[in-house]
């Protein structure tokens, strides 16, 4: 959103609402969370985890804290869960942030023109719209926003599965519990992924590292859904590759929201002598 200089009509401020501002929270969260998971999972794979790490080099002394004896795999799992809990929290915050921005965008366009006291600041004028979005739970907010989009963007089920995964990691040490699963005893996280493949003898063969293809082979790509399936009592094991797909799903949600924002301008609803703020969209 950008505030424009006052127009020739005294006391009028024009706001330009930018679609990329709606996508930004989800994009930022996905980029940072993926970077952190990539960095620390790779570091953990190369570190000796048979013992706790030594004290920092600049530590003169520190108290010894006794904890449970951990095997290499137990210590690796504890560190990975700690990183994933934070990553899932931030991803969900980013998705929620984009949805609130979409609500804000649609509400301001629908209003068209807002009357306010001349003493009000821009934040004062916009605060009620933000408060309404923040007060809604995720399913209701998703439903409300979808009614204002050109085409609905489904994500409530995916968000619920991310929430279940985070709760499992945080409250049950990563072991799938009854509160995490559906009636069939399954926790499913469905994420979009890019499949890169070639056709050989009428079958699709997915491209992998050091894949060899004949000259003039056509390499194709399409988006498909990948289901991560976890059953009751199993450990919730998320690899860096799995998290890459999850982060992409959240970033893609932000992109789809921005692409489906209303593009037609609404007619101003209120005219008057008080100070006004009018909203326009630069969504293409």
CB 11 within 8 Å of CB 276:
yes
* pLDDT above 60 (res 230): yes
Exposed e or buried b per residue across 25-39, where buried means at least 16 C-beta atoms within 10 angstroms of its C-beta: bbbbbbeebbebbee
What is the average per-residue pLDDT within 89-96? 97
Name which of 106-110, 164-168, 219-223 the model is least confident about: 219-223
Dist. CA 60–CA 230, nearest whole Å:
46
Model confidence over 9-38: pLDDT tens digits? 456 777 788 899 999 999 999 999 999 999
Q: pLDDT value at position 273?
A: 36
Model confidence over 49-84: pLDDT tens digits? 998 888 887 777 778 888 889 999 999 999 999 999
Higher pLDDT, 268 or 195: 195
What pTM did the predictor assign? 0.80
Backbone angles phi, psi at 275, to 5 degrees: -60, 140
* pLDDT above 70 (res 226): yes
* pLDDT above 60 (res 222): yes
* Domain ranges for the chain: 2-50+71-266+275-281
Dist. CA 177–CA 199, nearest whole Å:
41
Averaged confidence pLDDT in the chain: 85
């Amino acid at each position: 959103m950008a505030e424009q200089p006052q127009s020739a009509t005294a006391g009028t401020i024009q706001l330009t609402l930018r679609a990329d501002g709606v996508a930004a929270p989800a994009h930022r969260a996905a980029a940072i969370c993926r970077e952190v998971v990539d960095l620390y999972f790779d570091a953990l794979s190369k570190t000796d985890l048979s013992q706790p790490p030594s004290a920092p080099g600049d530590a003169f002394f520190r108290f010894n804290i006794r904890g449970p004896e951990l095997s290499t795999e137990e210590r690796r799992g504890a560190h990975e869960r700690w990183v994933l809990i934070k990553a899932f929290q931030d991803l969900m915050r980013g998705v929620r942030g984009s949805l609130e921005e979409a609500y804000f965008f649609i509400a301001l366009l629908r209003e068209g023109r807002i009357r306010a006291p001349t003493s009000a600041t821009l934040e004062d004028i916009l605060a009620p719209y933000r408060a309404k979005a923040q007060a809604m739970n995720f399913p209701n907010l998703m439903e409300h926003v979808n009614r204002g989009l050109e085409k609905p963007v489904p994500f409530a089920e995916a968000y619920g599965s991310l929430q279940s995964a985070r709760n499992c990691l945080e409250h049950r040490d990563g072991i799938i519990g009854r509160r995490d699963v559906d009636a069939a005893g399954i926790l499913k996280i469905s994420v979009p992924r890019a499949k890169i493949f070639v056709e050989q003898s009428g079958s699709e063969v997915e491209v992998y590292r050091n894949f060899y293809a004949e000259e003039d082979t056509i390499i194709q790509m399409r988006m498909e859904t990948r289901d991560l399936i976890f059953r009751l009592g199993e450990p919730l094991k998320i690899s860096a590759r799995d998290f890459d797909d999850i982060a992409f799903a959240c970033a893609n949600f932000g992109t789809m929201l921005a692409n489906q924002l209303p593009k037609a301008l609404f007619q101003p609803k209120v005219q008057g002598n008080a100070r006004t703020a009018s909203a326009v969209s630069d969504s293409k």
